[in-house]
Chains A and B, each alone.
Chain A
Amino acid sequence: MDKQFFGGVAGGDSTAQPGVANRNNKPRTLATSGSKQDSLETLDSPTGSHVEWCKQLIAATISSQISSVPPDTASGDCKVWRRTDLPRVSKRPVLRDSMEGGHIYQGNSDSELPPNALAPRDGSKQVQMDEVPLVPGETIKAVAKDVMYICPFTGLVTGTLTSTNYKLYFISLERDTPFIMDVNLGAISRLETISVQSHGENTRGMEIVCKDMRSPRFAYKEDASQPEIVEVLAKHTFPLSNDLPLFAFLYKEEFPVDGWKVYDPIAEYKRQGLPNESWTISKMNSSYEVCDTYPALVVIPSSIKDDDLKRVVSFRARHRIPVLSWIHPESQATIVRSSQPLVGPSDRRCKEDERYLQTIMDANAQSHKLTIFDARQSSVADNNKAKDGGYESESFYPNVELNFLEIPNIHVMRESLRKLKEVVYPTIDEAHWHSAVDQTHWLEYIRLLLAGAVRIADRLESGKTSVMVHCSDGWDRTAQLTSLAMLMLDSHYRTLRGFQVLLEKEWISFGHKFAARVGHGDDNHANSERSPLFIQFIDCVWQINRQFPAAFEFNELFLITILDHLYSCLFGTFLYNSEQERVAKEVQTKTVSLWSYINSQPEDFTNPFYVDYEHHVLYPLASIRHLELWTGYYVRWNPRMRPQMPVHQNLKELLFLRAELQRKVEELEREASSSRGSLSSSSEHTSSPSHSGGTPLHTIV
């Protein structure tokens, strides 16, 4: 972060003028200059030339503002849907990223709302537009007036920028449709400011690089009398770097449902039929002494002796021994996860580890084999040997079959997503869209992951063979693969609650390093530990969801909400790296769970098309032809890519109609039965099946 601070007095008139946005020529000017500069940025990434282009951009924008005469506002024909659902908002704010304040569903293209913003409900009501909506526990820290938002889609907008301890909130009332944009501070990965000399005055530019695929840019006059908003912003954006608590600990909302109760490991294992004669729920890690990144409860073979287990513990990287993730209800074939064995350059053996795997194999009577899926590229796995890691040798482990899934590591993924952002934000190159997406390799990696998970699921289902999955440490690619395979195999995980359990179990409790991978509240944006592995996983889920539109109880909004709150730091769900840390920080008592919010209004997150594909294994097609870039998430800031009406809206209407009719029929039947008096009072009884009849409803009806 290189910030440059310049003192200076700002002259008012030239920057006040830009406020009146010119819809007819502004976007064009911006788009051209923007795209030209973007290519520069591509060449030399984070800072250097980037600052340069930012300067140019701001200068160009400002000068064009001055020269242009504001025409009649063409936006007069735009119909506005104003704030909706007010009573509910005051009670419980909608928490989707940038939805706060975005309760105003504007059709107008300049509002930066995610596409999945729910359609307006009835009873729209005007609110105080200049008021910043706050969530309980949120306080305003700084306000700056006459700030220009350099919107890459519609041009300059002048308004008020407010920084709270939770979000950055920009509102402009200069058009007849209020323009609102807000960014959760947690979503910000980097703040940069530059100073531009333009027409004799100092203008300050600020770029906010976000983790959620956008980089809003602001320009404002320097004003000595105003507190420096950037400093305040930086302080609260990176609380950990400034000895402040994460906002989740300040958030005071109360929900009717307690999301921390969603996952109970004992109950989940019991659902799978565990413990049984071969597997036991072990408390050996109850104080996190055996393995500090594993949960307190793990399922291990029941016949294993403590001494042997110790040997196995020391033979596996970071003590992450093979433990059970999922067991097939019929064949008893299991998905087991672990870290890499510490084979080292000298091909060390560990008899206990070999026996341990044999025990896992024996627990499944249907097959006399065990398949190990090493998620890494085989060359990398070889290199790991030099670093004391490695992989199981098929000659030492009898009946074991080793497969490499050839998935690149977290750095490759980070780079891929960075490229993807360049493709989708702010402008899209129409003509070369597909090649550009191809260049990022993002979908290729998605395909690789899906293909790997399909192989795992197939081995279990058709091969009835137990499977062990590991990468290096067993908390990144391993979590991706096991949870995807479980999603394919077990229809329970495809429900709204079941998916929450899956995340709590495979990701959160098994120590996916959320804090390190996301970098909550940390200002070190260049940290190589950061990587979008969880996003990649959710993307895979979305891809499966798209291929099987009726197989999931949850909808796209649910997935987007999860990703938004992965960054927001509003909930405690995705904070910290391991269960141990979470217990130490008392996350469950001091913060709110994301699932509390979700499960308090599940109707927003359910898929109206849902049909329970019970006991049906889903095999998504890992073909690029069937993969698609998730525009609903990655390109959602582009107003042109937004659907005007959610596709599901029609079906929801249909469901509503059905409920309405059912009600009417019931009423009539009741009437009929009462008119016939006491003769057949039982007829009321017969009408009730029609109410609940047919398929179960999962949506608001």
Chain B
Amino acid sequence: MVRMCSASFLNRDISCRRHLSPERDRVTITSRLLQSQSPAGSFRANHQPAPSEPITSRLLQSQSPAGSFRANHQPAPSEPITSRLLQSQSPAGSFKANHQPAPSEPITSRLLQSQSPAGSFRANHQPAPSEPITSLLLQSRSPAGSFKADHQPAPSKPITSRLLQSRSPAGSFKADHQPEIKSEKEHSRKEKHPDLLPGEVVFCSASTVLKYTQDDLSQRGVFGALLCTNFRVSFVSDEAPAEEMGQLFKNKLYGENDIPLSCVDNIYGGYEDKKKLLTGGLMKNKYPSKIIIHCKDLRVFQFSLTFSKEEDAKKIFQGIIHHCLEPKSLRCLFAFSYCENTSYPEMQRKKQTVMFDSVEDWTQDMKRTKGNCRLVSENRSFELSPKLPQFFIVPANVSDEDLTKYQGKGLPMWCWSHHSGCALFKTASLPLLPEDNVPQTHMEKMLTAVAHNHLYSVKTEDLSETLPTVQDIQLSYNKFKQFFLIDNTTEFWMSDMKWFSSLDNCGWLDIIRQCLQKAVEVVECLEKENTNVLIMEEGGSDLCCVVSSLVQLMLDPYYRTLLGFQSLVQKEWVVGGHAFLDRSNHLHLKDKVESQSPVFLLFLECVWQLQQQHGPAFQFSETYLTVLSDSVHVPVFTTFLFNNDSHRDSILRAESPHTQRGPLNCPTVWDWSVQFDCKAQDLFTNPLYAEKPKQDKSVRKSHRPKHLRQLSLPSSAFKTPPKKGFFKDEADSLKKILRVKRISRWMLSPSDSPQTSSSAREFYEAWQAKPLDYHGLLLPCLDGPSIRVWMQRYLRWIHDVQILGGGPVAVLSKVSEILGEVQELQRELDRHGCTLASNHKGARPRAKTAAEIASRSSVRLSSSFPFVTSRNWSFKPAIPTSLLQSLMVTGIAGNLADRADDGDDLQSMV
């Protein structure tokens, strides 16, 4: 039964043997011999492990000039074994590995990359029946290498044995392949990467890459292969992935060791002790031994390439640099090849998120808020302006002629109508040209149009003047994120000391506060003064989006539901023309570096602050927001790929002819099933959400709930028949005269900020004095302590700050547990109501939700749930390493510290 697959040549006797014979039970072995540099070292590792304990044994990187390695493994049945002999650089090294695995288990043994000038390898496999064996001998670069691989495969099993890429000057290969092997290619692909997505292509790969585990400086890590595809940089660990409950929240598109290309933020090269930022282009000088990848979702990866073949290392390094940092065209983004290769079912959007891509969606929304404006559909194929969405709403008094002027600039776009009748509009401001006062008059005309909407009053707010610029936002965030991109533990604890001061210095929280503050001011105008508000900025699609969506979130409880929120993002951001592509600079275009800015993230941050302060008012959870912020960097969804409606339209139209299947049909991010299964999606909802009790049934019937009115408002104003309303308008002519004055005043001085901020303070206090209604107006508290750091998003990957057994998940699981009980009781009650006399002793089946499963073991979950698996669970506490230095640095103690605790001296008793 023994088939020889041998290639033997020349020279000495370095041999590697594998004998396989079954023995013992239930053992995996881990033992490492690292970095022996002894001039003549000999290593021997005998493992005779006791049952049921996992062991892995590795012999790594021997640099001994004459080293000999021996590893005897006597593993037991039914266990995976990985044993590797790697990278011997000994001039005359000898390797011996005896494997005696038991039946019915997969074995992978590799002998890799011998660089010994005279190396000979021998591998004997005597596998048991019915199991797949893969043994690879790769990349021998020995000038005179001899390879021997003995395979003794069992019948009826595919075996792959390959000798690849030998570049020995005098090498000869003989390979006898088993006829059983049918699909070698598929097999190897599978072995390399278990789950390539449709349309995903591997560009390059390198094996024996060491991925450092982040927690310390000890340089420990996991070996595996590093791949670069058109979608991601992926690390495939050689170790069997641990199946644990963290898998509950598995992203279907990418795993924990995958980095979507658009998610790569910065790449650093590690040279000895130095760390250098890489910026693309060809690397002329030395290749770094280490690649450090900082991701936009704040993960940090460190890979060492020193163990893999130089050629491969170079290739993968160049590949990663090229695909992550070099400019590319939009069509190279993975979404396109993904969509071409998936038959993606049309999203049943009618039951879901309102996409605002049809006349109906807009009219519905206007109806819901009782808005009274004009829907424009003339831009259906972007005749008016490519900057404007296909459909939009303007004040009723805007004429057709006005629509075509200035390419949509200066055109007030309706966002939302308050129940009092006043509305929020946004616009891209017109450039100021002093010599030409046509824009001026146009602007005045537009303002009058807005004013006509309600009570002839309008307030304008130029956001470019009062809020930070997109560049400021980018700068501040760049500083802020550095606190969370941490390479090692020591660095972490060092930065811990400066935490609060650094928070203030980067100003990120202050920017959040300013945005919320501005939104509160606008809310005040709408809610208290009942004036129309027109917000404007240069492009009309950055801070305008932030402020207008925040305002709507505060005023309209519909947007605090999951679907409502998605509709809001769709309306204000996607259709509203936020330049997602430029702001995230997925394409790494040099001329777009300036425009890169995390404006959407800023918005999510603001939402998070609101949600923290008024948890029960939101149907979606913190986890939902975190996942949404991550999804921006997954180039699969059309939602975040384009700059505006016409951009999307033209690109998709241009792409369509390439496919056979008609128009490209890409998923939107709102179809969460692309990324997560149902159970994981349960974590998106907030178990403490205070549903409107009465509305329960009506909400389910009509997927677009009615605009909820505040009780405080006179309802008569809306119920009055049109005629009466007309009379009312007439009667208000006096008001009109008064208000016109105000308009002119506002146009001259658009902002009186010092006063508005203090009036906003009073507005907040007056609101705070009332009992809280989760379905009414919500305002954020903006005082220093109230604006917090979004711990889940920013700290989830840092091992040292995970609270084991604690964190918000503890509360979450308790709540969902009680919620489950309540629902169960409710069902019980219903059942009783229907059939009073029927048997009630039967067992009560209960649907298990993800959160419920989590609750089973909340003690074992950490604060970074659900993002990090509990694999790293240990009871060892994290103790600050810089504990002792801390107070030496502060030095404030001064003479106080030297004083005795008590006034009187110690009494000596001796």
Contact = CB atoms under 8 A, between A and B. Distances in A.
A152 interface: no
Interface stretch (A33-41, A298-306, A670-678): A670-678
A141 interface: no
A412 B884 contact: no
A319 B909 contact: yes
Interface in B77-107: none
A671 B766 contact: no
B845 interface: no
Interface string A619-636: 111111110110100010
Interface string A46-85: 0000000000000000000000000000110111010000
Contacts of A434: 500-501, 503-504, 509, 784
B591 interface: no
A318 B805 CA distance: 41
B785 interface: yes
A609 B909 CA distance: 51
Contact of A668 (B712, B764, B770, B836): B836
Given A342-B910, A661-B822, A641 B786 contact: yes
Interface stretch (A235-243, A326-334, A555-563, A642-650): A642-650
B769 A78 contact: yes
Interface in B563-581: none
Contact of A432 (B504, B615, B858): B504
B812 to A, nearest CB: 9
B781 interface: yes
A271 interface: no
Interface in B666-710: 688, 690
B811 A609 contact: yes
For this complex, into which size category does the number of interface residues on chain A fall?
35 or more
Contacts of B724: none
Contact of A412 (B616, B804, B814, B896): B896
Contacts of B503: 434
Given A434-B503, A651-B818, A548 B879 contact: no
B281 interface: no
B836 to A, nearest CB: 6
A428 B771 contact: no
B897 interface: yes
Contact of B770 (A107, A623, A625, A641): A107
Interface residues of B, number: 97
B750 to A, nearest CB: 23
A429 to B, nearest CB: 7
B819 A443 contact: no
A549 interface: yes
B729 interface: no
B32 to A, nearest CB: 23
Given A77-B770, A611-B814, A661 B501 contact: no
Interface string B767-809: 0111110000000011111101101000100001111111110
Residue among B510, B769, B880, B907 with the highest chain A CB neighbour number at 10 A: B769
A185 interface: no
Interface string A108-129: 1100000000000000000000
Contact of B879 (A429, A454, A650): A454
Given A24-B762, A625-B499, A668-B832, A616 B771 contact: no
Interface string A596-619: 000000000000011101001111
A226 interface: no
A61 to B, nearest CB: 18
B359 interface: no
A590 interface: no
A435 B504 contact: yes
A79 B819 contact: no
A455 B881 CA distance: 12
A662 B800 CA distance: 43
Contacts of A639: 765, 768
A669 B901 contact: no
A668 B829 contact: yes
B618 to A, nearest CB: 12
A317 interface: yes
B783 A438 contact: no
Contact of A428 (B785, B795, B883, B905): B785
Contacts of B884: 404, 406
A472 to B, nearest CB: 5
Nearest to B802: A621
Contact of B768 (A107, A383, A415, A443): A107
A451 interface: yes
B836 A641 contact: no
Contacts of A616: 805, 859
Nearest to A513: B902
B437 interface: no
B283 interface: no
A430 B513 contact: yes
Contacts of A314: 909-910
A400 interface: no
Contacts of A669: 832, 840
Interface string A483-507: 0000000000000000000000000
B817 interface: yes
A421 interface: no
A640 interface: yes
B27 interface: no
A658 B820 CA distance: 10
B846 to A, nearest CB: 11
B660 interface: no
B786 A454 contact: no
Given A613-B859, A644-B771, A621 B501 contact: no
A471 B902 CA distance: 12
B491 interface: no
B768 A642 contact: yes
A566 B166 CA distance: 80
Contact of B893 (A412, A451, A624): A412
B769 A650 contact: no
B11 to A, nearest CB: 52
Nearest to A387: B906
B805 A548 contact: yes
Interface string A253-290: 00000000000000000000000000000000000000
A457 interface: yes
B189 to A, nearest CB: 43
Contacts of B818: 651, 654-655, 658, 694-695
A645 B772 contact: yes
B599 interface: no
A462 B876 contact: yes
B854 interface: no
Of B496, B806, B818, B819, most buried by chain A (CB within 10 Å of CB) is: B806
Interface string A324-367: 00000000000000000010100010000000000000000000
Contact of B877 (A78, A388, A428, A619): A619
Closest 10 CB pairs of A and B: A433-B784, A619-B877, A661-B825, A438-B500, A550-B810, A548-B806, A644-B772, A314-B909, A668-B832, A78-B769
6 contacts: A458-B877, A547-B806, A548-B810, A619-B878, A623-B880, A654-B819
Interface of A: 23-24, 27-28, 74-75, 77-79, 81, 106-109, 313-315, 317-319, 342, 344, 348, 377, 380, 383-384, 387-389, 404, 406, 408-412, 415, 428-438, 441, 443-444, 447-448, 451, 454-455, 457-458, 461-462, 471-473, 476, 528-529, 547-551, 609-611, 613, 616-626, 628-629, 631, 635, 638-645, 647, 650-651, 654-655, 657-658, 661-662, 664-665, 668-669, 671-672, 675-676, 683, 686-687, 690, 693-695
Given A619-B804, A695-B814, 16 more contacts: A74-B766, A106-B769, A314-B910, A387-B906, A409-B901, A412-B893, A431-B784, A457-B877, A473-B901, A547-B803, A611-B859, A616-B859, A628-B785, A639-B765, A665-B828, A675-B837
